[in-house]
Amino acid sequence: MKKTLLFIIILFSAWACQDLNSVNPPDEFDVNGQFGRMVDTVFYATDARFSVDYRSDTGNGKKLCVGKFADFQAGIFIKFINLPPDTMKIDSLFLEFTSMGKFGNGQEELSVDVYEMSQEWDEHTINTLDEWHSWQPAAPAIFHTVISANDSAKMKIEIDTTLFNKWRYEPEMNFGICIKPTSDLNNHIREFESLESENPLNWPKIYYYKNQGDTLSILDSVRTGIDATVFDYPETAPDNVFNLAQASNELILSSGIPSRLFVRFDSLKTLPKTAVMQAANLMLEVDEDNGDLQNENQSNVFYLRSITEADSALSSFEIDSSFASDSNFGFNMIYSDGMIQMKSTFEQEKLGKNQLQNIINGNKTSEWFYIHFVDAPSPISVEKSDVSVFRLFSPKDAGHPEAFKLHVRYFEIMPGSGL
């Protein structure tokens, strides 16, 4: 009995470790050839495009960005509330941010100016309104500082007690501050944790020393308020990354300033009606030589959706909403080794056995796919707030006709097989 059990365990272990393609059943059980054939093939994209959303809500972003890169600029807007009562004497104070890293190709220090805001703003609309893009303060900067190139864990900015007291004495005059990069050439973006990050200890905060007599001061802090990042990127500038990509026949997939990909595979129409799908892997080739704005601090996870209806210009389209109620139609992709592709073997199987099989069965019609950064407010990523830009080769480029491909594997049942 013990020998039999050992044999079964060994047999099961050997089978469990085998790859699907390497399984060779005995002839009497081999359906390949007798009942049909296994097909392993690659389809190439018929069309691929991208769209850009220059105005998006950054109020829920887990990061705050400041810096410059080419004609791209990011600035921080922040306002603290629940300040200490105006009866309390404040000796000194400073504003502290917790670093989350930097990206871009610059290694120099980052110069920033701090401005007092003089009008109301809303964290959820500030990046969507034209008035705040390329915004120029009316009054001179109240403070200038240089952020170390060493990416230190904390950034401290001194705040004049006079300004802080004005906010306390006249709360209606508290509009917060803006932190903008100076006109000096900077070639990188710095990222700091926002008031939406998971760890309250790392939120932006004002530290202040409150007087408790002639010789005693106690440190306290304020860490509640609103904040947002404003991304300035001239839509018509010929040297912005989106227009550069268009001019060089490339494609963009980005977050922060969201850019989404549309990919079409007309070859899906040629799948035989008797096909039983096994798996499918969508693969997009990244131009790693043009990756200056790829953000290593960003978790490069993407959603893949199918489009149910679209006009020829893709100016209007509808996304298949099946993923909202059925996880079998929610597909994840990831960037790895110069390629954006399905996140796992499990995702490949879902794409083949669910989406593509439903196309074969006539339950879904989708030659177009839609790819974008993960957009749920989670620790993974927030599409509309954390900057990262991927440039991809376009299948329209004569030098990269195979840049976007769909690798499919299925069993084709032969007529008269009895299956």
Our count of domains for the chain comes to: 2
Q: Is residue 161 part of a domain?
A: yes
Same domain, yes or no: 37 and 157: no
Same domain, yes or no: 48 and 70: no
Show the 3-state SS of 85-124: CCCCCEEEEEEEEEEEEEEECCCCCEEEEEEECCCCCCCC
Q: Is residue 35 part of a domain?
A: yes
Nearest alpha carbon to residue 133 among 190, 185, 55, 65 = 55
Residue 419 is predicted with a pLDDT of 55
Alpha carbon distance 411, 39 (integer Å): 6
> 36: phi > 0 → left, psi -120 to 50 → alpha, else beta; which?
left
Same domain, yes or no: 99 and 227: yes
Residue 13 is predicted with a pLDDT of 35
Same domain, yes or no: 313 and 378: yes
Q: Is residue 2 part of a domain?
A: no
DSSP 240-269: SHHHHHHHTTEEEEEETTTEEEEEE-GGGG
Domain boundary among 232, 263, 294: 232
Alpha carbon distance 302, 308 (integer Å): 19
Q: Is residue 380 part of a domain?
A: yes
Return phi, psi of residue 246, to 5°: -60, -45
Same domain, yes or no: 207 and 259: no
Return phi, psi of residue 329, to 5°: -110, 15
Same domain, yes or no: 214 and 296: no
Domain boundary among 232, 262, 291: 232
Q: Is residue 419 part of a domain?
A: no
Residue 186 is predicted with a pLDDT of 67
Same domain, yes or no: 286 and 206: no
For 209, the domain range is: 63-232
DSSP annotation of 286 reads B
Asked if 67 contacts 190 with a C-beta cutoff of 8 angstroms, the reply is yes
- Token reading at 111: 């110069």
- Sign (positive or negative) of CA dihedral 373, 294, 97, 232: negative
Domain boundary among 174, 208, 232: 232
Nearest alpha carbon to residue 307 among 352, 264, 354, 255 = 264
Return phi, psi of residue 141, to 5°: -65, 145
Same domain, yes or no: 219 and 367: no
Report the relative pairing of strands 388-393 and 331-336 from DSSP bridges.
unpaired
Same domain, yes or no: 228 and 269: no
The answer to pTM > 0.85 is no
Same domain, yes or no: 47 and 131: no
Q: Is residue 333 part of a domain?
A: yes
Same domain, yes or no: 212 and 274: no
Q: Is residue 25 part of a domain?
A: no
Alpha carbon distance 409, 276 (integer Å): 9
Alpha carbon distance 51, 58 (integer Å): 19
Residue 106 is predicted with a pLDDT of 66
Along the 419 residues of the chain, how does pLDDT read in single tens digits? 444 433 333 333 333 333 344 445 555 555 565 678 889 999 999 999 999 888 888 888 888 999 887 778 899 999 999 998 888 888 888 999 998 888 777 667 888 999 999 999 999 999 999 889 878 888 999 988 888 766 667 888 888 889 999 999 999 999 999 999 986 666 788 889 999 888 889 999 999 888 766 666 778 889 899 999 998 887 887 778 888 888 888 999 988 888 999 999 999 999 999 999 999 999 999 998 877 788 777 778 999 999 988 887 777 888 999 888 999 999 999 998 899 999 999 999 999 999 999 999 999 887 899 999 886 554 444 566 678 889 999 988 888 889 999 999 999 987 766 55
Residue 17 is predicted with a pLDDT of 37
Q: Is residue 11 part of a domain?
A: no
Same domain, yes or no: 74 and 211: yes
